[in-house]
Structure 1
Amino acid sequence: MAAPDISKLKIERGATPSAPLRRPRRWKWLAIGAVVLAVAGALVARVGGGKADVDIVTVAQAWPSQNYTLLNATGYVVAQRKAALSSKATGRLEWLGVLEGSRVKKDEVVARLENRDVSATLGQAEANVKLAQANLLQGEAELADARNAWQRAQDLLQQKFIAAAAYDSALARYNKAKAAISAQRAAITAAQANARAAQVAVDQTVIRAPFDGVILTKNANVGDNITPFSSAADSKGAVVTIADMGTLEVEADVSESSLSKIRIDQPAEIQLDAFPELRLSGTVSRMVPTVDRSKATLLVKVRFNDRDPRVLPDMSAKVAFLSKAVPPEDRIPVTAVQPAAIVQREGKSVVFVVTDDKARLMPVMAGRKVGELVEVRGLKPGDKVVLKPSDKLQNGQPVAVTKK
């Protein structure tokens, strides 16, 4: 047998294998991971784990008296009896016995001017009164002596022991003594009048409280020159300003188009800007019968039914004119929220309270309407709740507050 020819067998070094190449497996795993993450994100969003954009409102403290309000107006607290105390006399302020906030009684001495000059005049007038009274006593003694002399002369004339001329002289002396008595009594009256005038001048240097009240302002200090009308340079007119706190009222401007809603003795509620939590009962006392043409408003005065020592003149105030007096049970504030914050979940009224950037479901009990709000129990004023929560919002879900 002939041997096989292997000379034609050889390996081609540059030849390309005909089998297909395998792709790397890592692209396959990346695609699978992306799908898994997408599904997981969808599941998380479905169960409420993603942040939800929400609007929030604050739980407020509301007053049921809002349900009786017909009209609101603004104004200021004004003392209806108020006085700037000064003196009719001119002088230097020597003594001041009050400060701002001091309470004084009627006729109590508030301040005193230097009064040595008018006091000296008063002393002189009182001395003139005494002198006139002494002259009257002397005149009465002379009158008694003249009367006795005239009576003796009359007896002697009847007995023809004296001449008629002597009798006439005694009678003239008696009549002159009587006339002197009348003049001396008139002199006493004049001296007493001068003394009263001097006393008035002294009294005018003493400044007294015209009524019970509180000192509002102190306009002068000891040593200042006081003049009646403060016309001189470096002088003061009023020493202090006093107000009767029992006459405090609120003066509010009401548009003339709303006057049909207001009447005398109408109940009202007064709220002070300085004390928002304070609501005081009031009554319309009077309406000034003049319309301000520039503002088309009428001045309405509301007196306080409830007195509070914190109320001071010139405080800003809001007045609510009511349809009827507020019952005692409606004068207590309640917790209220906007109706859109309350939703139904599983047959219960709930709200979502936002704490730590999460919405916490909280059951509440809704009550009556208070103005535009609804009374709720289970919340406290100041809580932040979600406004118009969606059906997908879940308890404990993180939220992002949308700025309005």
Structure 2
Amino acid sequence: MKRRTKVIIFIAVIAVIAATVFFLLKLRKRPEQGFAETTVITAERGNIEVKVLATGTIQPFTRVVVRSPQKGRLEKVLVDEGDRVWKGRILALVSGEDRISLLDAANSMMQEAKAAGDKEAIERAKQARQMAMKAYLPIPMTSPLRARVIKRSCQPGQNVSSNDILFVLSDRLVASVEVDETDIAKIHVDQRATITLDAFPMEKRAGKVVKISQEGRTISNVVIYDVQVNAASIPSTWSSGMTANVQFLIHDLKDVIVLPVGVVHQEGMDKMVMLAGGHPRPHKIETGATDGKMIEIKSGLSEGDSVLAMGSMGKAAGMQRSEAMRALYRMRQMSKSKGRGR
């Protein structure tokens, strides 16, 4: 029994030794993954555009409603939706109640006289109508500014009151979009932007910021600010209420030194890269704007300098793999410490 136990123990020891030898040989064939798979990336010149996207609607920059000046009846409507009007342009004519009463009475007299064939009565009805038209002129409704008629809510012959909104005017249409509070600090008046409408997705209009709201609104626990963007040219196809998408140009960097984002890592307060060469070593740099793929190198590297992208980050040309680089950095620091100790 004891002999059998010794045999089993001996076999187990042999198996462990064999597994250990196999593992060590495998490691020799495949050096540590993080350090074996590297790609050399060269700092080069390129362009970086950083944009913020916001969505909203097309709205009037200045919206003016025109009501009837008095209770009465619309005699004429002289404009329609889409018409351009100047300040002082007559939009419609309104007859007051006194004028309406006299004209209606004269018209009634005229109908009765014609039905009876009484020529004298017909003449008296004509004179009564002329006197009413001269004594009570219709009141004109005029435009208070140079604008475009974006809504008309009236027809000739319609009875109106002083509370009725008959026309809506707009001096110009703008894209009013909602910007998140995390991005609002990047937006400023006169900033360049591009406007695209869902109704016309292939048409892009250049514009600039003309107004930024100073009061935020909370929607779904997110604070947003209204920003108005004026297009350089407004086509006649635009209408109030259309969905608008605006891209704000935050950075437009041309011919700057850039690297893939993934080769730069944070070490404390510093931005670091691993310089390529016989002995890879960490190197401090100063970075600038990034578009999420490439990052601007402000100082620390020159055009043509080479850095290492470690592991899968090198294969993907920009995928973040900072763990291996931090390991190299710590090994470098340990090496320096040992050197000082000696």
Query: Under TM normalisation by the shorter chain, which class is it?
Result: 0.3 to 0.5
> TM-score, with normalisation over the residues of structure 1?
0.39
- The one of the two structures with greater contact order (alpha-carbon pairs below 8 A, sep at least 6) is 1
Structure number with the higher strand fraction is 2
> TM-score, with normalisation over the residues of structure 2?
0.46
Structure with max Cα Rg: 1
